[in-house]
Amino acid sequence: MVTRLTFYSAIQHALKAIATTLEENILMSQLVILYLGFVTSLIIGVGFLHLLPRLGKMGQEISDWFCAAPGIDLALAYFMLVPVTVGSLASGWQGLGIALLAELTTLWLWIFAHELTHAQELQQANIHRTLGSIVGKWQNHLAVWITALAVPLFWLVRFTEVIVYPPLTKLIKLPKYDAKDWVNVSRNKFEGLVGYDLIWCLYCDWMTGVWSLGTEMLRNVESFWCPIRFYSEKKCENCQLDFPDVDNGWVPANGTVKDVTKVLEAKYTPSQEERAWFGHPCRGSSEESADNQQRTSVDV
């Protein structure tokens, strides 16, 4: 009886082991298919973008549209966000990892292909080789790849610009901005940038525009809701570059709420079409005109 039970138990364990192995093999096959599917679709996307400028005037116009917002948002979402979203939904964390691996694979394939087709230009001066000679090759490569960890942050800023800020332009009339004047890439037109250098310069091109637009929007928010200098003079000094109103109208830290309300009443009116930060260009002509009218009325 004991022998029979032991036999049945052994069979049961063997069947479980076979089932587990099959499940692992099926999962592995699914991940491989997912990986190959991502790489294929991303390469097709790359080929499409390279083909567009060669399709005449219309193709060039479409290519230019993809180089500035909102076109660049869609293009970068296709290459960055769609794979990780699909991968996560399909296979959880493993799918996310596969999507990131596919993105990196496609990136390196493009770098190698671009440098191969621009071999002559690559032999001339290039950025990463120069920086490598200054700080060390592996230090420079590692440092630049570490900056890629900030990509999710820049996407968060971009989503904030698209989702959070626009309602403020309607509700309290903060200035509207044409995103394409900020969020765009053009360093692909710079002569001599090839492969590795080009992709990182395009990354800097995009992230600088995204960050600058976000900073501009934040200037309006800060000056509208809380135009008060910080108690730390060092902080005021550090923030002045990005927030000029720190030294251009914000109430001193030892002031009162009444002082704040006076500044708000002086800088904002119910009839204003745009309620921008104090140093915004849109204030220059209107405030100068108001000052001139006031001087004229006094002279009369």
149, part of any domain? no
Using the predicted structure, report yes or no on whether residue 289 has a pLDDT greater than 90.
no
Using the predicted structure, report yes or no on whether residue 30 has a pLDDT greater than 60.
yes
Helices 82-117 and 195-225: angle between axes, nearest 10 degrees = 140
Model pLDDT, residue 121: 84
Model pLDDT, residue 298: 30
59-68 pLDDT per residue, tens: 999 999 999 9
Model pLDDT, residue 122: 81
Segments forming the whole domain that contains residue 94: 1-117
73, part of any domain? yes
Residue with tokens 């979402």: 77
Handedness of CA 104, 108, 109, 110 (dihedral sign): positive
Q: What are phi and psi of 68, to 5 degrees?
A: -140, 155
Report the C-alpha gap between 115 and 124 in whole angstroms: 12
**CA dist 42 → 81, 105, 138, 156 (Å):** 12, 10, 28, 23
34, part of any domain? yes
Model pLDDT, residue 17: 56
18, part of any domain? yes
Report the C-alpha gap between 84 and 71 in whole angstroms: 20
Q: CB atoms < 10 A from the CB of 21, how many?
A: 10
244, part of any domain? no
Is residue 174 helix, strand or coil? coil
27, part of any domain? yes
| Mean predicted confidence (pLDDT) in 216-224 | 97
Model pLDDT, residue 293: 39
What is the band of 10 on the pLDDT scale with cuts at 50, 70, 90? low
Number of domains in the chain: 1
Tokens of 102: 């596919």
**Mean of all residue pLDDT scores within the chain:** 88
35, part of any domain? yes
198, part of any domain? no
